[in-house]
Amino acid sequence: MSVLSRIADIFPPPRFMTLPSVGVDISESSLKYMQFRTEDRTRTVMHWGDIFLSPGIIARGSITDVKGLAAALTQVHAICGTPYIRVSLPEERAYLFETAIERGTAEEDIRNVLEFRMEENVPLSPRDAFFDYDIVEDDRNDRILRIGVAVYAKETILNYHDACREAKLMPLSFEVEADAIGRAAVPAGGDGVYMILDVGKMRTGIGIIYKHALLYTSTIDIGGQQFSDALSRQVGAREDSVLTQLKNERGLLRTGGDDDVYEALLPTMSALKDEVTTRITYWNTRSIESGARTIEKIILCGGSVNMAGLPEYLTEVLGIETERVDVWRNVFARADIVPPIARRQSYGYATAIGLALRDTLEQHSS
């Protein structure tokens, strides 16, 4: 689902592109990028990296300093050598809703129907918004199609577009973070229901993906920093690197001896668990085919998911199998290829990888 659909009418990309695009994941604290090269059906990593963003450039998904973001994007342009990029959009600025249309509705009529229904589902008028949609086959009713719709305020996307153009870059698509993550995280043949937990520095993004379509997003104001703060209150002021090491090596593991780290992290972890449980309950309540759309797996990604015992803890308390993401599962065709990024570090690149993978999908569909 790319929210470029309407913005492309205003700023059309070139019809012929000789260089692969770069996936750019923008958060409040950093900008991660990933670029692939595909030759003879073999994909390799061309460029990847992480560029620090000064505090205040982005606040809760809104750009407050376009030139500051453009300066970071200019670095990506210089490193990767291509003007074509695909950009993530923050979940906290997205509106998602699900609806149904009659099977056989002409493609040109679908948008008119969705514009009408948008006014019933989001606090934006069609004239003030960009939107796009995914069609989800309804296995139980051959007369209708399920539609997942993502909506953003025009102002939000145009600010991101302006930053790209300021850096002399051509954005080919803007996508909800969780949608891009799903392209990297969900197995190619995985048509079930997956919950994505993207645990960042300050917040945790949630996405629920059904048949490879993003149908739900939410944001929880708990991230790696909150865990570090809780730990520092227990063990005293320490360097960030020391706190990270304690989280990653001892974390949520109970040894039967000195469990001070576990005890320090547990209240914050319980709060996160409660918030996730609320989202799962909401999904199950609103799900149209509740039995067929039960979440079957939770996939963890983001820079703060290295905490020891995290997947095991969530599996136990939520009753849903939880695992850390394999960001390369849909990238390399052969299992013997060694990625250039260490596994622990790779969890933070799920969004950028998913964005970069879109090139391959569009080539196959053209």
pLDDT exceeds 60 at position 14? no
pLDDT of residue 3: 58
> Tens digit of pLDDT for each residue in 87-126?
999 999 999 999 989 988 988 899 999 999 998 999 999 9
CA angle 80–82–86, rounded 5-degree value:
90
Paired strand residues for 49: 33
Task: Give me the helices (H) in 44-150, please.
Answer: 66-80, 107-121
**What beta strand segments (E) does the chain contain?**
22-26, 30-39, 42-52, 58-59, 62-63, 84-89, 95-102, 129-137, 144-153, 170-176, 193-199, 204-210, 213-220, 297-301, 322-324
pLDDT classification of 11: cutoffs 50, 70, 90: low
pLDDT tens by residue, 156-191 = 999 999 999 999 999 999 999 999 999 999 998 878
Rounded Cα–Cα distance for residues 133 and 2 (Å): 8
- Whether the per-residue pLDDT at 17 is higher than 90: the answer is no
Residue with more model confidence, 11 or 54: 54
Segment 131-154 shows an average pLDDT of: 85
Residue 140 has pLDDT above 70, yes or no: no
Give the whole-number percent of the chain exceeding pLDDT 70.
90
Condensed to tens digits (0 to 9), the pLDDT of residues 301-316 reads 999 999 999 999 999 9
DSSP lists the bridge partners of residue 170 as 84
Mean pLDDT of the chain: 89
pLDDT over 70 (residue 365)? no
> Does the 4-365 domain belong in CATH 3.40.50.920?
no
